[in-house]
Structure 1
Amino acid sequence: MICKKIFFCLRSVCLLLEETCQRSVVGGERSLIANLSAANCYKVDHLKKPENWALVEKAKFYYIAGFFLTVSPESIQLVSEHAAANNKVFTMNLSAPFICEFFKDAQEKFLPYMDFVFGNETEARTFSRVHGWETEDVEQIAIKISQLPKATGTYKRTTVITQGADPVVVAEDGKVTKYPVIPLPKEKLVDTNGAGDAFVGGFMSQLVKEKSIEECVKAGCYASNVVIQRSGCTYPEKPDFN
C-alpha cells in the first residue's frame, strides 16, 4: 500500500465513482461498455475542498490517467501546476487511442508538465499519426514524446510504452532501452482487463521508493503478468514479487 502522503492518483478517484462496466472476453481479447455515471460528473470544486487538497499538498508523486481529460481538465491543471511549482513528479497515461485523437488539444496542454508518460504501442502510434510524425516505429515515437517541451527543467521526461508480449520501450535522454516482459504461455492468458493500469501501478510502486527504471519496469511487468492470468482486475492475497 502506498502512503497517501507520497502518492496521489486521480484515476482512483474516478474509478471509485464509476458504477458499472460490462465486459466481454473471448480468447483473451476484450470489449468494454462502461457506464461512467458519477465519474463523469467530477468537478474541480471537489478537489479544492481543504480536506482533499491537503492530500495533494502532502503527495510527492502524481498519476492521472488520460481518461480524466474527458472529465475535469481543470482538476488536472491544478495538480500539474502544483507539481511543477513544487518540484514534484507528475505522470499521466495516454490511456486510449481515442484520447490521443479526439482530446489532442487537452492532452497537448498538459504534456509539458508530464515527467513520465505511459502508454501502449497502439496508443503511441495513434499519438504519432495525429501529430503528423509519419512513423509507426514505437521506439522513435517514444523518443519524440520524451523530447517534447517541458514546463520545468527539474526532471527529464521519460516515456514508457508497453507492447503486450514484446519488450517494454523506455525512452529518456534521447535513447531507448528495452526491457523484456515475463513470458506467459497463451493458455494461461485469461483476461487482459486492467493490464495497463496494473503495469503503471507496479511501476509507480517502485518509483516512489526511488528505485531504478529497471526495477520500476520489473514491478510493472510483474503486476500486469499477474492480473492477466485472472478474471477481472483481481490479485492473489499475497504477492510474490521480489
Structure 2
Amino acid sequence: MSDTTPPRYDVIAIGNAIVDVLSPCEDAVIAGLGLNRGGMTLVDADKAREIYAAMGPATERSGGSAANTLAGMAALGARCAFVGQVAQDQFGDVFRHDIRAGGIAFETPPLAGDVPTGQCLILVSPDGERTMNTMLGAGQFLHKGAIDDALVASAGILYLEGYMWDPVEPRAAMRRAMTAAREAGRKIAFTASESFIISLHRADFLELIDAGQFDILFVNEHELATLTGEADFETGLAAVAAKVPVLVATRSEKGAVAIAHGERAEVAAEPVARVVDTTGAGDQFAAGFLTGYVRGEPLERCLKRGAICASEVISHFGPRPETDMIALMDARL
C-alpha cells in the first residue's frame, strides 16, 4: 500500500560502514608487510591489525560508497539517513561520530562480538602512491533484522550500494528494504559500485532490472559494458534505458549521460586545475545528481550538479567534499 505521507528524508542509503586510515609510509615498510604496493587488497582482521600496528601517525576519515554519497547530499542541504553496520570499537565510534556530525541520521545498533568495524588502511608512499588494504569487517554482517521498514518508508528514495550485494546477510537486508520501499510507493536507486561486483552477480542485477525494481540506476561506462555485455557505449545504453526509468552513466573525463523516460541529457566533465585523488568521484556525482532529482530539477541540471560535485572531490585527498558545496553550486550552476 502506497504511503502518501511526504517523506521525512530525501534519501535513505544502505552501504558499507568503513573508516579510511591514511598514513605516510616508507616503501620498505610496505615491502616488509608483504603488501601490493599501489594496489587494493582485501585483508582479514588479523592482517589489518598487523598493518595498523606498523603504521605511523594516521588520519582517520569515515568512508564507504553510499555513506560518501549521503555526505555530499547533506552538504547540499538534503535530508538523509544511513543504514550500515559498525562494531563496538574505536573505529565504530569514529564512523558514528562523523556521519552524525554531517547531519545524517544513523541509528543502526553496533554489532556485538569480536568482529571489528570495517577499515581501509592506506599507506601513502613518498611519491604519493597509495597502497590500500580493505578489511570489510562488521559491514558484511548487516542482517535483515536491522532494517526498520517504517524508516525506509519515511524516505523518498532508497539508495543501495552495489558492494553490499556480495555478502549474503546484507543482500537479504537490502531485499527486505526494497520490499518496504515498494510497499510505501517510494523509489529505489542502485549504484553498481564496481565491474567485479557485476561479474559476480550479473544474473541477479539483470533480473532486478527486467522486473522494474530499479527506478534510478548509476553506472560508469565500464560497469555498463560488464552489465550488458556490449563493448559499444551507445549500444549498452540502449539495452538498459528502456527498462530503467532513470539511467545515469558516467564517463570520467568524457562527462556523463542520463536518459529518463526517453529524454536524454549530456554534460561535459567540469574543469579541474589538478586531479589529486579520484577516490569518491562516482559517489559525489551521485550526490549531486540525486540532490537535483529530489528537488525536481531538469535532467541536465541534475547532471551538472553531479559533475560539479565530482570535480570538487577529485581536487583533494579523500572521498567527501571539503568545500562549501552550496556556495560552489551557486557559483557554477
Query: If the length of structure 2 is used for normalisation, what is the TM-score?
Result: 0.60
Question: Contact 2:190–2:218 (CA<8 Å) still a contact in 1?
Answer: yes
1:22 to 121, 146, 159: 121
Counterpart Cα distance in 2 of 1:34 and 1:58: 33
Q: Equivalent residue for 1:103?
A: 201
Q: Kindly tell me: are residues 241 and 70 of structure 1, through their superposed partners in 2, closer, same or farther at Cα, counting changes over 3 Å?
A: same
| TM alignment of 1:63-78, pairs within 5 A | 63-71=159-167, 72-78=170-176
Aligned partner letter, 1:67: Y
Matched, 1:202 2:295: no
Aligned partner letter, 2:150: A
Q: Kindly tell me: are residues 25 and 220 of structure 1, through their superposed partners in 2, closer, same or farther at Cα, counting changes over 3 Å?
A: farther
Q: Kindly tell me: are residues 122 and 202 of structure 1, through their superposed partners in 2, closer, same or farther at Cα, counting changes over 3 Å?
A: same
Counterpart Cα distance in 2 of 1:31 and 1:178: 34
Q: Equivalent residue for 2:183?
A: 85
Question: Contact 1:170–1:177 (CA<8 Å) still a contact in 2?
Answer: yes
Q: Kindly tell me: are residues 81 and 143 of structure 1, through their superposed partners in 2, closer, same or farther at Cα, counting changes over 3 Å?
A: farther
Q: Alpha-carbon deviations, 1:9-49, whole Å to 9, x = none?
A: 112334866531134679998764311100011101111xx
1:115 to 206, 215, 223: 215
Matched, 1:211 2:310: no
Larger displacement relative to structure 2 (99-108 or 78-87): 78-87
Question: Contact 2:255–2:307 (CA<8 Å) still a contact in 1?
Answer: no
Larger displacement relative to structure 2 (164-173 or 92-101): 164-173
Partner-residue secondary structure (3-state), 1:40: helix
Deviation at 1:146, TM superposition (A): 1.9
Q: Equivalent residue for 2:89?
A: none
Q: Kindly tell me: are residues 139 and 43 of structure 1, through their superposed partners in 2, closer, same or farther at Cα, counting changes over 3 Å?
A: same
CA RMSD after TM alignment: 2.5
Question: Contact 1:83–1:90 (CA<8 Å) still a contact in 2?
Answer: yes
Partner-residue secondary structure (3-state), 1:136: coil
1:39 to 139, 158, 167: 139
Bigger relative contact order (CA 8 A; separation at least 6): 2
Q: Equivalent residue for 2:250?
A: 162
Q: Which runs of 5+ in 1 are unaligned?
A: 130-134, 149-155
Q: Equivalent residue for 1:153?
A: none
Identity %, equivalent residues:
22
Q: Equivalent residue for 1:132?
A: none
Counterpart Cα distance in 2 of 1:223 and 1:217: 10
Counterpart Cα distance in 2 of 1:237 and 1:228: 12
Matched, 1:54 2:146: no
Q: Equivalent residue for 2:10?
A: 6
Larger displacement relative to structure 2 (218-227 or 20-29): 20-29
Counterpart Cα distance in 2 of 1:29 and 1:220: 27
Larger displacement relative to structure 2 (29-38 or 90-99): 29-38
Partner-residue secondary structure (3-state), 1:126: helix
Counterpart Cα distance in 2 of 1:176 and 1:15: 37
Counterpart Cα distance in 1 of 2:130 and 2:85: 19
Q: How many pairs were matched up? A: 222
Deviation at 1:174, TM superposition (A): 4.7
Q: Kindly tell me: are residues 84 and 53 of structure 1, through their superposed partners in 2, closer, same or farther at Cα, counting changes over 3 Å?
A: closer
Q: Kindly tell me: are residues 183 and 159 of structure 1, through their superposed partners in 2, closer, same or farther at Cα, counting changes over 3 Å?
A: same
Partner-residue secondary structure (3-state), 1:200: helix
Structure of greater Rg: 2
Counterpart Cα distance in 1 of 2:292 and 2:124: 31
Question: Contact 2:220–2:251 (CA<8 Å) still a contact in 1?
Answer: yes
Deviation at 1:176, TM superposition (A): 4.1
Q: Which runs of 5+ in 2 are unaligned?
A: 1-6, 16-66, 68-82, 87-91, 93-116
